[in-house]
Structure 1
Amino acid sequence: MPFEIFKQEFGELTEYIIQESTSGNRFVVIPELGGIVRQLSLRKGLTLYSVLKTPPTPNALTEDTQSASELLFPFASRIPEGKYTFLGKEYQLGKNEAGKTNAIHGLVRKQKFNFEKQSINQDSASIEFSFPLKDLEGYPFDVNFSVLYTLFSDGRFTLKYEATNTGTEPCPAMFGWHPYFLLGNEMTDAWKINIPSDHIVDFNNNMIPIGTKPFNYEQPMLLYRKVLDNCFIVKSETKSAVTELISDNQHITLRIEQETGEGKFNYLVIYTPPAKDCVAIEPLTGNVDAFNNGEGLNILAPGNSISGIITVSLF
């Protein structure tokens, strides 16, 4: 078969490599650091593009505070003061946003994930990891969280998350993925972006939602001199929505497709870092501070599960 899966050392870490020999398409996962995808390479024509930006060394990756490629669960983005109320009871999460007093980006970051299974088929290869959440600070619920990564022979890469309430009480759940995307060695000023939205979340000074406002930029939107750190309400008339990152100079388009509909990825954060060498495109199942405002929040009854798929491809 054209696919292979193998392990190798990355400093003191262990990484799993899944690759397709014909195209060279591959991705690399590090289970000890929250099951993150460290590398994703996809081919267009004669060129194999590395489309994710992550810290280049094991130490830098371990110490990263920018959430590069991290899985965000059971909440994503900020919860002000780390406080939320669920079914009439107040909870206090650890305040872990640098220099501030918010809780941010969930409880599975940098955690050691468990290897579950891998499979190789004629047209795809997959690998699955999991992490059990049990009575954590500010989140006293039992939830099994898992992520299944798949590389297809047509060049598609998919991330499928699933969360199952293994406890005896209902629990709140929200998921997001935090990848930084690259297009060759170009700066973001050279790119365009298609954002599947016509409404943007309005933030206060603490980056907490206070409402929405129209987003009416002509699409695709030039990123030249644009500074984005925004949450968008996704608009879709089908069961998915697509964000496109476009380089006209290189004749390539990166497509990030997210499932939409009830309980799925109906929100999207886009962030342009100051270095202007990448763009964070973050599908979310809920709005920022969903644990308090309830916007997009999934409530899992005991024994129930929620899941969703994100697809990355290069054209």
Structure 2
Amino acid sequence: MPFQITTQEFGTLPTATDPLIEYVLEHTETGEFITIVPGYGGILRRLVLRKGRDLFALLLTPESPQALFSDEGYAGALLYPFPSRIRHGIYHFEGADYTLKMNEQKRDNAIHGFVHGRPFSVVSQEITETYAQLVVRYDYAGDTVGYPFPFALTVTYKLVQANQLTYGDHADDDRMCALQISYSALNTGSTRSPAAFGWHPYFTLSEQPVDEMSLSLPNRAPIVLNDNMIPEGRHGLEPGGTIELKGEQLDTAFAIEPTSEPGASNPFAETSLTSLKTGVKLIVGQQTGANKLNYLVCYTPPRRDSIAIEPLTANVDAFNNGDGLTVLNPGETLSGVIWVRLS
């Protein structure tokens, strides 16, 4: 079979003695591959896909365990039980007040949940003629200050023939691969719990500067944020369109609408990043609909070497404003699908 899964040592964290193990999911004939580090937040660290004869490195992530440990940009992070920010780290839920650790000191917020950096376990791995798949899980006992709600977060990473993607418009060429990420957060506790999910990748096209790219967005309503990046409302719906990124500074949240046909049984939205030099297009897709990924954040870091395109299930500060927040009964799950492909 053309797909294979291997492992390699990634290195040792400053706070550990045992090395991190990195899983490599690869298509041996095309050279496309992804790598996952279960022991550090279950993150996807590398993503290399093919367009024509060329391979493109599509993620900007730390190159060593030391850099991963000190990274404050949440590169590749899975964001749960909340993405983005919670004002002052304080929220009210079903008659009680909760206070989370504030890990964004300059803006006085809690940010991006707390599974980033925590050890995930490998549940299973599988290879077939059309994909290689790794399933990882983090089991949480409810012992983090401010969030006493146990859960099991399961994430499935799949390197798959692009014409086998579950969602979206995709290539007919079975020699091209794509990435598909499926997540499922199960409430394993005995009470209801607030929940929201996001993913925080920084995308590039083989280290091409952002100023040489354009960004195409779906129909969206930009969120109005104050100086501490907390929502104060939203603008009206804007039609899908393309922004040239040269000189453009983005740190913007959007409520988005599907790009799939109206009334589709599996609605989705896609955002694309295009090289103005080569025409190569990177497409980030997200499942939309009830309790799915109906929000998006786009962020250009000051170094201008990448752009974060972050699918989210909820608005910024959703634990307080309820915008997109899912409340899970015991035994219920929050789930969805994200994909990345080249065109």
Deviation at 1:46, TM superposition (A): 1.2
Cα distance change, pair 220–8 in 1 and its aligned pair in 2 (3 A): same
Q: Please tell me the residue identity of whatever aligns with 1:163.
A: A
Deviations 1:73-119 (A, max 9, x none): 00001101100011121101111114342110001010011111001
The 3-state SS of whatever aligns with 1:214 is: coil
CA distance in 2 between partners of 1:36 and 1:218 (Å): 30
Structure-2 residue corresponding to 1:140: 148
Partner of 2:305: 277
What percentage of residue pairs aligned between the two structures are identical?
42
Matches within 5 A, 1:113-132: 113-132=120-139
Equivalent residue number for residue 288 of structure 2: 260
Could you say which residue in structure 2 is the equivalent of 1:92?
Answer: 99
TM-score using structure 1 length: 0.97
Provide, for residues 170-221 of structure 1, a one-character-per-residue CA deviation record: whole Å limited to 9, x for no partner.
Answer: 0011000000000123211111111113310001111000000136487211
The answer to whether residue 241 in structure 2 is matched with residue 219 in structure 1 is yes
Counterpart position of 2:166 = none
- Correspondence for 2:209: 187
Of the three residues 267, 277, 291, the one matched with 1:249 is 277
Structure 1 residues 1-315: aligned runs within 5 Å: 1-12=1-12, 13-135=20-142, 136-154=144-162, 155-214=177-236, 216=238, 219-236=241-258, 237=262, 238=264, 239-315=267-343
TM-superposition CA deviations, 1:124-149 (whole Å, max 9, x none): 11001111122221010111111000
Counterpart CA distance in 1 for 2:241 and 2:332 is 39
**CA distance in structure 1 between the partners assigned to 2:303 and 2:93 by the alignment:** 39
> Partners of 1:176 and 1:264 in 2: how far apart?
10
Separation of aligned partners in 1, 2:63 and 2:219: 33
1:22 deviation in Å? 1.2
Give the unaligned 5+ runs of structure 2.
13-19, 163-176
Q: TM-score, normalised by structure 2?
A: 0.89
The 10-residue stretch of structure 1 (15-24 or 182-191) with the greater mean CA deviation from structure 2: 182-191
Q: Counterparts of 1:234 and 1:215 in 2: how far apart (Å)?
A: 9
Q: Distance in 2 between matches of 1:166 and 1:275?
A: 41
Instruction: Output the CA distance in 2 between the equivalents of 1:29 and 1:280.
Output: 18
* Contact 1:20 1:153 (C-alpha < 8 Å) held by counterparts: no
What is the root-mean-square deviation in Å for CA atoms of aligned residues?
A: 1.2
Q: 1:6 to 1:280 in 2, by over 3 A?
A: same
The separation in 2 between residues aligned to 1:221 and 1:215, in whole angstroms, is 16
Q: Which whole-Å CA distance do the structure 2 matches of 1:28 and 1:185 have between them?
A: 18
The CA distance in 1 between the partners of 2:190 and 2:11, in whole Å, is 41
The one-letter code of the counterpart of 2:146 is G
Following the alignment from structure 1 to structure 2, what is the Cα–Cα distance between the partners of residues 214 and 57? 43
Counterpart of 2:77, as a letter, is E
Q: Which secondary structure does the structure 1 equivalent of 2:149 belong to?
A: strand
Cα distance in 2 for partners of 1:153, 1:261 equals 25
